Amino acid sequence: MTAKKITLFLFSCCLFQGIFAQDMDALKKRKESLKLDVEEWTLDIKEAQKELAKVKEELKFLEDSLKVYPIWSKGVFGTVGFNFTRFQDWLSKKESSTAASNLGFTVNSFFNLEQKKYFWKNTININQSWLRFDNKDKEEEENGYQVASDAFNVNSLWGYKLNDKLATSALLQYRTALLQKRLNNPAFLDAGFGISWTPKKDMVIAFHPLNYNAVFSKSEAELNSSFGLKIIGEYARKFLSGISWTTSVSSFFSYKSGELNNWLWSNGLNKTFGKIGIGLDVAFKQNKQEAKALELSDNPFQFYYILGLSYKF
């Protein structure tokens, strides 16, 4: 390598180092500038959040001041499910000539009252369905519809507001069946006092440590009433595209015996097209005393569902 080339190489290295050093200085200055910008923006955001909180508080005060009491809200919606089948000399079936049908409906209704110092929430839920299977080749077979599901629930919750989310409350809840002489046989009536929490609109959770669960039955089996803890929760939510969901949980924990506990969880899902839509109702429950009334030794996991057309009133 000639002296000229060596000199050119060393000059290039020095020039590169100088440019690199200048770039590093510029980057460091830019970094410090951005850090200052972030600190300033952070302070501005905190101040803006404080102002936003004040505006929200004032807005809520104005909304509460403009409310005209009493405020009533009420509604009724339900699901109707049905299907019919008919086979005549269909030889690929063991029973070649049969007719079957299933009919069912649910009705969910609510009416709520809100006053400045208290609220009153009421719901009624009815679910009934019938099943018929007719083997045309057996003349002696008993025809007609048989009850497939039967439930009737009424809730009434009254609360005195302590603040926007907490209230002292009293509950009355009645659950029974309506068909096949099951009215009040058995039936469960809860009456109690406690605290209700409303964390958001259309949601309420009641926690009642002072509750009496009264059991009514015409069965010879020994069913027991008792004091216990009652917890209920209700929530309704509307989604985009006309989809709505309601859910309700009711549970009782006896202070006397775990054999007297019971719980029920029911859900309603609807997709509407105007007033007509598609509805799905699903419920789950366990109740040892219901099983005893039917002289069953175990406590089965109970559930039902109805999928069909829905109508919004």
Map out the domains of the chain as residue ranges.
Answer: 1-66, 69-312
* Cross-strand partners of 277: 272, 310
Instruction: Give the whole-angstrom CA distance, residue 149 versus residue 101.
Output: 14
CA distances to 70, 115, 147, 170, 193 from 231, in Å: 27, 24, 30, 12, 11
Structure tokens at 111: 């009416």
Strand partners of residue 253: 229
Q: What average pLDDT does this structure show over 268-274?
A: 83
Residues 201-220 pLDDT 10s: 789 999 999 999 999 988 77
Q: Which CATH class is domain 69-312?
A: mainly beta
How confident is the prediction for the chain on average, in pLDDT?
83
pLDDT in tens, 7-66: 655 556 555 555 555 566 777 777 777 788 788 888 888 888 888 888 887 787 777 767
Establish whether the linkage from the previous residue to 300 is cis, with ω within 30° of 0: no
Measured CA to CA in angstroms, residue 304 lies from 40, 137, 178, 293, 307 at distances of: 59, 31, 16, 20, 10
Q: Is 117:294 a contact under the CB 8 Å cutoff? A: no
The model's pTM:
0.74
